[in-house]
Amino acid sequence: MSIPFLDRLRSAGRLDQLFIDGQWTAPRGTTRMPVVDPSTEEAVAEVALGNAQDVDRAVAAARRAFADWSCCDPKERAEKIGRLHALVLERAETFAQAISLEMGAAIATARSAQVPVAAEHLRVARDLARDYAFMVRRDGMAIVREPIGVCSLITPWNWPLYQITAKVGPSLAAGCTVVLKPSELSPFSAILFAEAVQDAGFPDGVFNLVAGEGHDVGAAMSSHPDVDMVSITGSTRAGILVAQAAAPTVKRVAQELGGKSPNVILPDADLARAVPAGVAAGMRNVGQSCSAPTRMVVPRERLAEVERLAVEAVSRLVVADPRSESATHGPVANRAQFVRVQEMVEAGIAEGARLLCGGSGRPDGLARGFYVRPTVFSDVHTRMRIAQEEIFGPVLCIIPYDTVEEAVAIANDTVYGLGAHVQGEDLGAARAVAARIRSGQVHINNPAWNPHAPFGGYKRSGNGREYGVEGLQEYLETKAILGYEAKESA
């Protein structure tokens, strides 16, 4: 089958190259990685991977470029980022096709969510570069926010373009230079993004792309002595490894890691609105979102109604070929994730959770591909694995409670603290519960996504924040210049 964007990348040699110092270049390493279409389980291409030598080349290029990029007028940086934003929007359909192929997102989701929200991070970064006060005067001194330096950015496969722009946008706006390692499992959107960076006219070395595996390229990027900061989105295990590798050089580490987010439905909530919206949020992107609210914490006296509404909501999902316009959900992104979801569904059954719909195996009519059955368990208690471990698939746990105090305790009974939801008609009561949940974000009554809202976790969900002003500030150092304003001598 001919795939136009992939045919073009192949003919241009992009699948065999890295992007370093403004040039497409062959890697020093010889490893190649097949890219598997999760809807067919078949490889559609191979990409060349870099190694530690390629990291050295990319970091050196970023270090050379930092001197000029960090000192240029922020409005110049804003202009370049604005051009990049425009190019991503112009090429939105190509990006959507690439994301659907490389990680299985339904094409409708790729078009309506994966690409446009990724572009929003660039728009916000453009505006921040233009408007942020990089220097303020206070008490006779100047407080200056300066770019931290060369940044290693490590991104995952589940929201591939979105996670790239969430890091690249603010780091470039701050005046940093970067080396990006996208997931080797979803490389196409990253290659397309590097082409857009080149076409936007960024100076050589400001942005560098080195594909590779975590144990090789990721480790080299995290430990490199000429890297000033590393930012990773990934599993908690991966975040720990990055922090350990970075520790000897005392570089800043930002980690956006795992989650097991609660959705607390208060006794006065409108269930007809809250439950279907909660199912949609928990199973968005086939459940492959670190902040997905996969624990629905509900009043015991309303459990039967919640269960009925949840099963009805799942019945409206269409799991199908991701290229189908009617599909709401495609496969999970890779074989390892498919195996993980099957294991956890079986664990839920074995531990005594009540299966309302779904279960193990593929949906009817889908004999191949990493398709899984959207699954809802009820009568889940907090000691079950499905209530504690991140599944990263379309598996929802309904956990009943008797008092709001107990609901808050259930919400906080996890090692994670990334996101949370609260539903209720009494806004004051909902706010009070939101204030007691230990997580980096809380959504009351399903508000619209806000690209300015800082995102990051408590506990083992990580350190640091992304998005908006707080995301920009992660890439800045603070300098106090005393005596900045002259005073008359006595």
Could you list the active site residues?
256, 290
- Spatial CA neighbour of 10 closest among 98, 90, 87, 91: 98
Residue 335 structure tokens? 């074989």
For residues 239 and 232, is the Cβ–Cβ distance under 8 A?
yes
- Spatial CA neighbour of 187 closest among 175, 195, 176, 177: 195
Chain-centre distance for alpha carbon 79: 25
Residue 351 structure tokens? 């531990």
Residue 132 structure tokens? 């942020």
Q: What is the helix, strand, coil percentage profile of the chain, to 5?
A: 45, 20, 35
Query: Alpha-carbon torsion 344, 348, 350, 356, what sign?
Result: negative
Is residue 438 helix, strand or coil? coil
Task: Please tell me the distance from the alpha carbon of residue 41 to that of residue 437, in angstroms, as a whole number.
Answer: 40
Phi, psi dihedral angles at 458 (to 5 degrees) = -90, 170
Phi, psi dihedral angles at 352 (to 5 degrees) = 100, 10
For residues 165 and 118, is the Cβ–Cβ distance under 8 A?
yes
User: Angle at Cα 122 formed by Cα 420 and Cα 337, nearest 5°?
Assistant: 50
Residue showing tokens 């504690």: 388
Amino acid occupying residue 161:
L
For residues 461 and 451, is the Cβ–Cβ distance under 8 A?
no
Find all residues with CB under 8 Å of 373, minimum gap 6, and list them: 319, 345, 357, 358, 359, 360, 361, 362, 363, 394
- Spatial CA neighbour of 209 closest among 189, 228, 223: 189
- According to DSSP, residue 448 is labeled P
